[in-house]
Amino acid sequence: MQPVTESNGYVQRFTFGEGDLCFAVKDTLDIAGFPTRAGCPALADRPAATQHAGVVATLLQQCCVLTGKTALHELAFGVTGINPWGGTPRNPQFPALIPGGSSSGSAAVVASGEVDFALGTDTGGSVRMPAACCGVIGLKPTFGALNREGVMPAHSSLDCVGIFVRRARVLRQVLTRLAIPVNAPLPALPAIGFIPAATPEIDSLLLNALAQLDLHPQQIDLPLLNDAHRAGLTLISHENWQAFNPLLSSGAVSADVAARIRAGESIDADALKTAENTRQTFTAEVDARLAKTPLLALATLPELPPTLAEAQDPISVVNLTRLVRPFNLSGHPALSLPMGTLDGRPVALQLVAAKGQDGLLLQAAEWLTGRRRD
């Protein structure tokens, strides 16, 4: 099959619904009348879905207009967004850089201004990472807060439907329509704990940007952060083996993705038990920290996003998820917010709140973006 070439991240364009907000969805969410191919040639002949994914149906009922499906890293199993078969979306603000994965197209169409918001999925940072790369806001809600019915893969202990926007006020509208509780804007932010876990240059940029807003967060540590990243890798590898190994017999899954799926077969019960123990202890660690400081802040990406050329080796970029993946493991809501550039590449701040406090992340994004415009 020839590679698909699409502008700004769309793989299919259409119109469903009537309303005042338009949106697009990652091609891992079912749309009635269209096949869900997940950017994978092994699913090229998949029959059309018979009904919309639950979260899409809700948005259509709440007066939103669906404009199309977006490209992604194949089978949502990669961090660059590079996809020779399904198309690699152009990063609108930083065209030399990767769009980020796996929800690359959803981030790109929001960054380009083609839609008000877009849906992606986030199993190990797949909303927050492309949001950081493309210079937009990306929210991973509390695990289970949004309906995953009609989302590929059907079963996951890590995956969440997430949201991309350019403006925090639009995120408020989307969360309201999805029945996620939101309160009035905050007059001031609650206590923030900052975790210095990226390169010194990135951490310095973020702390300086916060200081310019008269914010001087307490510097803290999450000792199990790296362990949680590794545990998340173990679980996603195991769960993707369970979900996608039947596709490997077709020979149509791209070689690098197929190799990572096969790696999940070797994960044994002891490794899974260790990962689940880490999930429990890391979750408790984050809960305890949030009981003292209602917001945690750290870089979204530990390094600057690579160029498309630099990212050709998929193994070389897996560490880019080490600050986002832990909060898939724990299930806490997390939001990525653009905070500036360094050497011409974007830098983003990740905010984390207690489970069920998705609205606090919205309020923090509103406060921060509002002050930065003053």
Residue 169 lies in a domain: yes
Give 225-258 as a DSSP string. Answer: HHHHHHHHHHHHHHHHHHHHGGGGGGS-S-HHHH
CA distances from 172 to 75, 178, 249, 349, 364 (A): 30, 10, 44, 19, 11
Mean pLDDT of the chain: 95
Does position 292 have pLDDT exceeding 80, yes or no?
Answer: yes
Average pLDDT over residues 308-315: 82
Give 34-80 as a DSSP string. Answer: BB--TT-GGGTTPPBBSS--HHHHHHHHTTEEEEEEE--SGGG--SS
pLDDT at site 373:
55
User: Per the structure block, which two tokens stand in for 289?
Assistant: 């920290």
User: Measured between alpha carbons, how far is 94 from 62 in angstroms, rounded to an integer?
Assistant: 33
Band (340; pLDDT cuts 50, 70, 90): very high
What is the domain count for the chain? 1
Which residue has 């937009």 as its token pair?
136
If residue 327 lies in a helix (H) or strand (E), which one and from where to where? helix 326-330
Band (223; pLDDT cuts 50, 70, 90): very high
Strand order in the sheet with 295-299: 10-16, 64-70, 21-26, 117-122, 160-165, 137-140, 334-342, 345-352, 295-299, 192-194, 218-219
Band (312; pLDDT cuts 50, 70, 90): confident
pLDDT at site 318:
75
Does position 2 have pLDDT exceeding 80, yes or no?
Answer: no
Q: Percentage of the chain with pLDDT > 70?
A: 97
For residue 296, what is the domain's CATH number?
Answer: 3.90.1300.10
Residue 1 lies in a domain: no
Residue 159 lies in a domain: yes
Band (374; pLDDT cuts 50, 70, 90): very low
Does position 363 have pLDDT exceeding 70, yes or no?
Answer: yes
Residue 223 lies in a domain: yes
User: Measured between alpha carbons, how far is 371 from 374 in angstroms, rounded to an integer?
Assistant: 5
pLDDT at site 6:
44
Residue 2 lies in a domain: no
If residue 286 lies in a helix (H) or strand (E), which one and from where to where? helix 269-292
pLDDT at site 314:
63
Centroid of chain to Cα 141: 10
Residue 233 lies in a domain: yes
Tens of pLDDT, residues 50-71: 999 999 999 999 999 999 999 9
Q: Percentage of the chain with pLDDT > 90?
A: 95
Residue 143 lies in a domain: yes
Residue 188 lies in a domain: yes
Range of the domain at 259: 7-373
pLDDT at site 3:
38
Q: Are 100 and 132 in contact (CB under 8 A)?
A: yes
Average pLDDT over residues 261-283: 98
If residue 292 lies in a helix (H) or strand (E), which one and from where to where? helix 269-292
Centroid of chain to Cα 192: 22
* Closest to 119 in 3D by CA, of 184, 36, 237: 36
Is the model's pTM score more than 0.85? yes
Does position 282 have pLDDT exceeding 50, yes or no?
Answer: yes
Centroid of chain to Cα 97: 17
